[in-house]
Amino acid sequence: MERLDKFISSRGALSRREVQKLIKSGAVTVDGEVCRLTESKVDDGCLVSVNGQAVGEKLVYIMMNKPAGVVSATEDKRDKTVLDILPQALRRPGLFPAGRLDKDTEGLLIITNDGGLAHRMLSPKKHVEKQYVARLDGEITQETIESFEKGIVFRDGTRCLPAKLKIAENGDKTVGTVTICEGKFHQVKKMFAVCGLNVVHLKRISIGNLYLDGNLPIGSCKVLTNLEIGQVFIGKLH
Ligand code: URA
């Protein structure tokens, strides 16, 4: 059981104080009856409504360090999905991966039931930065860095927005850090391919200012606070 004000604020965009005002004004019903007591106890079995609108599932944000070999989907006929590898305690209806990583890509993935967040995070207009570490089969040249800066054009004419490329290691084991602010299909691999390089390993390390927890083993998850998930919308390339 949870306090009514906490129950409502944790399932939507209203603050605890705003919810308390609404409860006192008579805008909240529990199982069809007006309830003006902010500290009343409710649980997911109760039908709670605000101004006639049912309050939905509690919004959850899960950080996964996605392993290679699982697909970023809710279901798949052939492969294991990121939802299949969620620990039992975190499973609930309505969860989905907010954005996609390729099957062979590792790293930061957000799993949530908040469609609004996913929409804002993935909207091309929001330009949320995503940072990847890519291991490559050849050297990163100044020309490649400049091409990324100018905006890579794919072979089919699709133009990418300017991206940042930094050399982490060059030579036998070339590693680059790439920052892009859009999410075209296989974008990072295709950008390098235009410059004649193959990505042999790819890992996402950040979305906005939210960084993959370095202590999170590959394949593991942790629940994020509202404050932590808010970091997604901080930090801009453009
Ligand atoms: N770019 C890619 O090529 N693959 C990913 O998984 C993410 C970005």
> Domain holding 98: CATH number?
3.30.70.580
Is residue 219 within 8 Å of 158, Cβ to Cβ? no
Residues 13 and 116 in one domain: no
Residue 238 lies in a domain: no
**What CATH number did the domain enclosing 192 receive?**
3.30.70.1560
CA of 10 to the centre of ligand 1 (A): 32
By percentage, how much of the chain surpasses pLDDT 90?
A: 76
Ligand 1: nearest atom to the Cα of 180: 8
Residue 48 lies in a domain: yes
Q: What is the pLDDT of residue 238?
A: 46
pLDDT-based confidence at residue 236 (cuts at 50, 70, 90)? low
pLDDT tens per residue across span 83-115:
999 999 899 888 999 999 999 999 999 999 888
Structural domain count, the chain: 3
**What CATH number did the domain enclosing 29 receive?**
3.10.290.10
CA of 204 to the centre of ligand 1 (A): 8
Is residue 139 within 8 Å of 174, Cβ to Cβ? yes
Give the Cα separation of 108 and 130 in Å (integer).
Answer: 10
Asked if 102 is an active-site residue, the reply is yes
Ligand 1: nearest atom to the Cα of 100: 6
Residues 147 and 190 in one domain: yes
Nearest CA to ligand 1 atom 2: 186
Count of alpha carbons within 13 angstroms of residue 80, beta-carbon side: 11
Residues 153 and 96 in one domain: no
Residues 152 and 198 in one domain: yes
Q: Give the active site residue among 84, 102, 104, 213.
A: 102
Residue 28 lies in a domain: yes
Give residue ranges with CB within 6 A of ligand 1: 101-102, 105, 186-189, 202
Give the Cα separation of 88 and 109 in Å (integer).
Answer: 18
Mutate to test the pocket of ligand 1, among 70, 103, 186 (most ligand atoms within 8 A of CB): 186
Torsion, Cα 31 33 36 39, to 10 degrees, reads -30
Give the Cα separation of 232 and 118 in Å (integer).
Answer: 11
Burial of 91 (0-12, 13-18, 19+ CB in 10 A): exposed
DSSP helix/strand/coil, 142: helix
Q: Is the pLDDT of residue 30 over 60?
A: yes
Burial of 219 (0-12, 13-18, 19+ CB in 10 A): middle
Is residue 122 within 8 Å of 109, Cβ to Cβ? no
pTM score, whole prediction:
0.83
Residues 139 and 104 in one domain: no
Residue-averaged pLDDT of the chain: 93
Q: Which domain holds residue 45?
A: 2-54
Residues 153 and 176 in one domain: yes
Residues 199 and 181 in one domain: yes
Mutate to test the pocket of ligand 1, among 102, 122, 195 (most ligand atoms within 8 A of CB): 102
